[in-house]
Amino acid sequence: MKLNLKEITLSIVLGIIILTLPLIIKSPYQMHLIIMLCINIVLGLSFAMLFSTGLITIGAAAFWAIGAYGSALLVMNLGLSFWLALPLASIITGIIALVLGSIIVRAPGVAFVVQTMVINMIVGQALGQIEFLGGWGGILGIPRPNPIGSIKFVSKTHYYYLILFLLLLTVAVSYALYSSRTGRAWRSIRLNPRLAQTLGINLFRYRLLAFIIASMSAGLVGSFYAHYFGTIEPGTFSVFKSIYIQIYSILGGLNFYLIGPIIGALIMTLVPEFLRVGKEIEPILTGGILIMLVIFLPGGILSLPERTRSFTAGLLSRREREESLH
């Protein structure tokens, strides 16, 4: 993708803002929101990756939970360092995704959606019923990440850079995959599975790959979540959270696998904050805004450029219109 000067400067400015955010934002509360935002973005990216192959999942929260609980147990019961538990949790989630995925990815379509929901429900119930995993009260007192040198993970700034790193890692890996042959295979599977098959693309293997990688990123950020929050309880990882994750992609734009979830998560995380005016009626307003956005911007926020372009193009005369199309 060739960039012009405008894009380069914009990206640099954006990059600087993101990297120096803790210096600009002094309030730990707002940093907390940004950190939660980053977590939600990664979860949204997870959904989007699966969606790029045409699979809709409402079970992302289950893998988030596996990563969180896995990491907490590895550190608290086995005494591992957080830095070891982080990748391990992701790998464990990946293995479980491999096993489950092999079973459910075979039946795409609505059946798959339903199966992901069942997985989410079973995981939620199991985490609540099993006393060893803390039961309904969850696990408390999960330790902070082990200090690296002088970085002690007490202030939000340290956590921010860690989650930023994880987010960028996820974005980088996703971007690499989307631009590669794998990404092209995914897109073709989404567009027309039968046709893709005739071209020799193995639907099952590519979808399973997406499933595993998407779940691993959820697991990765789950581990971060556990050690950032300090407590985890089964209620957080419900089907409703998975559905929210889906909304991030829908709001941002389903066709934009990277930027879509970013915008969608931004809206869903920050808008309720602005709406704090009526504490009791906040969900009513958020629900209303959601409906408005879905109706008026069905392609997501990122479809706005398209729509304004075609709108302005419609205003131009015929000849100018033809010229602007090239």
Partner 1 sequence: MTLDLFTQLLVNGLATGMVYVLIASGLILVLGVARIFNFAHGEFYMLGAFATFALCQVLKVHFFISILLATLVVSLFAAICYRLVFHHIRGNLLLCAAASIGLSMMFERGALVGFGTQERGLPSAFSGVITLGNVAMPLEKIAVILLCLAIMLGLYYLLMKTKLGKAMRAVKLDTEVAALQGINTMRVYAFAMVIGCALAGLAGGIIAPLFSITPGMGHAMLLKCFMVLIVGGLESMLGGVVGGLVIGMTLSFGYYFLGGLSEILLFSIIGVILVFKPGGLFGEVVEDV
Partner 2 sequence: MRRKKSTIGVGMTGSLLGLLIGIFILSGLSVAQSPKEVKTLRVGSTLPLNTGMGVETKKMLEILIPKFNDAGGFIVKGQSYAIDFILYDDKYSAETGRAAVERLVYQDKVKFMICQIGSAPIIAGLSITESEKVMNMVGGASPKIVSPKNRFIFGTSTTRTSIPPLWTMVKKVFPSAKTVVFISPDDETGRARAKEEIQVAEAFGVKVLQVLHYPRDTVDFSSIATKAKSFNSDLIDYPGAVAGTQFGLQLKAMYGAGFRGGHVSAITPQMDEITAVASNEALEGLLCTMQGTEVPSPSPLARELKQDYMKKYGKWSEASLTWIPAWYAFIQAIKKADSLDPEGIANGIATKGLEWEIPNGKAMLVKRPDLENNRYCDTCSEMAYGQIKNGKLAYIGRISLDESVSACEKVFGGKWR
Q: Which helix (H) or strand (E) holds 64?
A: helix 60-78
Q: How far is CA 315 from the centre of its chain?
A: 38
- Specify whether the CB–CB gap between 228 and 118 falls below 8 A: no
- Region for 296 from its dihedrals, namely left if φ exceeds 0, alpha if ψ lies in -120 to 50, beta otherwise: alpha
- Region for 79 from its dihedrals, namely left if φ exceeds 0, alpha if ψ lies in -120 to 50, beta otherwise: left
Q: Which one of residues 9, 129, 202, 308 is an interface residue with partner 1 (CB under 8 A)?
A: 129
- Please tell me whether residue 106 binds partner 1 under the rule CB under 8 A: yes
- β-partners of residue 281 are none
What the block records as the tokens of 244 is 């929210």
Q: Residue 62: which residues within 8 A CB-CB, separation 6 or more?
A: 116, 119, 120, 123, 124, 237, 242
Q: Which one of residues 21, 33, 121, 259 is an interface residue with partner 1 (CB under 8 A)?
A: 121
Q: Which one of residues 13, 126, 140, 154 is an interface residue with partner 1 (CB under 8 A)?
A: 126
Residue 23 interaction partner, one of partner 2, partner 1, none, beta carbon < 5-8 Å per kind: none
- Specify whether the CB–CB gap between 88 and 219 falls below 8 A: no
Q: Which one of residues 108, 234, 252, 260 is an interface residue with partner 1 (CB under 8 A)?
A: 108
Q: Residue 141: which residues within 8 A CB-CB, separation 6 or more?
A: 76, 230, 231
Q: Which one of residues 40, 52, 57, 115 is an interface residue with partner 1 (CB under 8 A)?
A: 115
* Residue closer to partner 2, measured from CB, 135 or 193: 135
Pairs from 13-20 (Cβ < 8 Å, separation ≥ 24): 18/164, 19/164
Helices first, then strands: H and E counts in the chain: 15, 0
Q: Which one of residues 12, 111, 172, 304 is an interface residue with partner 1 (CB under 8 A)?
A: 111
**Least distance to partner 2, CB of residue 30, Å:** 5
- β-partners of residue 139 are 232
Residue 147 interaction partner, one of partner 2, partner 1, none, beta carbon < 5-8 Å per kind: none
Q: Which one of residues 11, 125, 179, 324 is an interface residue with partner 1 (CB under 8 A)?
A: 125
Residue with tokens 């956590």: 159
**Least distance to partner 2, CB of residue 10, Å:** 4
Site string for partner 1, 243-262 (x = CB under 8 A): x--xx--xx--x--------
Residue with tokens 């989630």: 93
**Least distance to partner 2, CB of residue 29, Å:** 4
Span 288-317, contacts to partner 1 by CB under 8 A: 288-291, 294-295, 298
Residue 144 is classified by DSSP as P
* Residue closer to partner 1, measured from CB, 129 or 312: 129
Span 175-204, contacts to partner 1 by CB under 8 A: 193-194
- Note the residues at the interface with partner 2 (CB under 8 A): 1-2, 4, 6-7, 10-11, 13-14, 17, 21, 24-30, 32-33, 36, 128-129, 135-138, 140-141, 229-233, 235-236, 256, 259, 262-263, 266, 270, 274, 276, 279-280, 282, 301-302, 304-306, 309, 325-326
- Binding interface with partner 1 (CB under 8 A): 54, 56, 103-104, 106-115, 117-119, 121-122, 125-126, 129, 193-194, 239, 243, 246-247, 250-251, 254, 280-284, 286-291, 294-295, 298
